[in-house]
Amino acid sequence: MKNRDLLIGFATGVAATYIVKEVYDRKEKLYPADDVLKSVKEAFKEEGPIDGSWIYMKTEPYKQHAIETEVYKGGITRHRDDELEQFEFMADAYSGAIVEVNKV
């Protein structure tokens, strides 16, 4: 076996390992309390203080038009102008992006 063939095999193995790692990292879910709820709370804190928050630890399927993903459901409670406001949200389990917010 020539050194060139050995080098090509090694380079191919390294490239395949990198590609598999990238694909695996994209499919990994975020931690609901540490990653998702923290980012949602930070977004709401820009508009004022938060009194409480919660998040379900299990994902649920979510489909809107042609988009299908898994989401975490949660909620935020805050006071604004001496009035209690409650919001429910759904956040993508893989990216943490908020896909829906509803005022309760």
Q: What is the pTM assigned to this prediction?
A: 0.68
18-54 tens-digit pLDDT: 777 776 666 677 778 788 898 889 888 888 889 999 9
Least confident interval from 1-5, 12-16, 71-75, 95-99 = 1-5
Could you state, in order of their start, the residue ranges of all structural domains in the chain? Answer: 1-28, 31-103
Q: Per-residue b/e over 4-17, b at no fewer than 16 CB within 10 Å?
A: eeeeeeeeeeeeee
* CATH architecture assignment, domain 31-103: Roll (3.10)
Angstrom distance (rounded) from CA 92 to CA 24: 17
Mean pLDDT of the chain: 85
